[in-house]
Structure 1
Amino acid sequence: MSDVRGIRGLFVGVRYLGRGVWWVARRPRQWVFGMVPALIVLVFYAAALVWLAGRADELAVWVTPFADSWEEQWRTVARVIAGVAILVAGGLVAVLTFTAATLLVGEPFYERISERVEESCGGAPEEPDVPWTVKIGRAVRDSLILGAVAVAFAVTFFALGFVPVLGQFVVPVVAAVVSGWFLAGELTSVALERRGLVRRERFALMRRERPVVVGFGAATFVTFLIPLGAVLVMPGAVAGGTLLARERLAPGEPEEPGEPAEDRPVTKGDVSAQGEH
């Protein structure tokens, strides 16, 4: 039964991303508004990844000195795998830190989108009286912590990428799950920080809804791998993260009567209420 609930929770999480994208799709101005900071950050990340790709061969030779004495065919195979692993690790770090960097750069943009999502669902809670310097300090600190975690996982997955079968089939799945977890943590942070919750408290709440959180985050991770997907989906991901935080994670907020949040379809009343915003 628990396995079934876990699988069901994964699909519920995926639906939160779909609901967020649908929310911004009905509000083109909000969508364009939310793409601006993502596009700015993307330019810098794209330049970094192009630089990495141009030096992948050199880096592959540098990380495989043990293959210098091998036969040429095996040395080539080892360095091709190393080059691919370097690019995958770089992409993983980029995807993991892209959300944090974009939220940091575009905080006013995404804060406004998140507020509008909550208003369309009945109202946003009043923000705690925290000085802006403290808020920025927390955001920078959380981004640095996430960056350090991303690098640690990227190095681990890079090393595991050399293991036959495991590196080609299991590692990508695990990478998507792990990356999705941290992406969800970033995307729900806007709504949860509005409720006065710090990073440790936010992740404690996420663990209670682990399948749903992983489903939402992994779906977001996959869309971010599509060219320009991170820019196009970012506003919807913030909206979906707000819905997830509001309905599944935020403590003390009563559910609407009737069906559970993940099973309740969008009604005409909901659409009308959303259209007012």
Structure 2
Amino acid sequence: MKKLLRKVMVVFAAMVMVLGMTACSSKDSGSADNKVIVGFDNTFVPMGFLDEDGNTVGFDVDLAKETFERLGMEVEFQPIDWSMKETELNSGNVDVLWNGYSLSQERKKIVSYSDPYLQNKQIIVTMADSNINKKADLAGKEVGTQQESTAQAAVETDTEFVSSLKGGAPVLYDTYDKALRDLEIGRTSAVAGDEVLIRYYMSQKGEDKYKVLEENFGLEDYVVAFAKDNTELRDKVNDTLKEIKDDGTFDEIYAKWFK
């Protein structure tokens, strides 16, 4: 009888342990599912950047906050090396890329993505007092852009243009902020990049200091990027973005950042 009682107690203790571990696992899983980490470039004005007080702000930041609040999810913004963004996403270090992420044919192959929510143009900017007025005027000169950006891809796709540049390639920077500062001090003759960023940058520094060429590298769409297999979160974000557009909240956020 004593042996039987001991066996029952051992089995009962084991069951309690297993149930306890299962409960903890379920709790941890629920907590993880309720939090989303957004990877972003914290210098990409006005989409996602740090203000003078070190706060994470921007159009995409406000839009992401509104989206995940409606989904009942906690959101954390994680600054990343933008040239490594897809690696960060597909390795699971971040859950989404939401920071002026332009859709391209190459990117379609490696990420899952939302419906487009904003249109952008890849433009060329130079200083107002330069004698550069068209692409052809940049022959033999240096043009800066952000590394692993769609602007870099657009420049390099225009084979005639890129082959005419000094060195036969654009000058690459890890942020547009650095590229634009080099333009201002004369290290490069122009910068190719996202219109939303360049126009905002110009508005902060004084638009009369710069000149945007009429020629550009075409239109593109901004999307939210997810890991290839994360279609569940993608679909939730898509549905919520539609709600935000339909009820006018999107227009309010847009007006705040693009006056």
Q: Shorter-chain-normalised TM-score: which range?
A: under 0.3
| Structure with the larger strand share | 2
Which structure's relative contact order is higher, taking Cα pairs within 8 Å and 6+ residues apart? 1
Larger radius of gyration: 2
| TM-score (normalizing by structure 2) | 0.23
| Structure with the larger helix share | 1
| TM-score (normalizing by structure 1) | 0.22
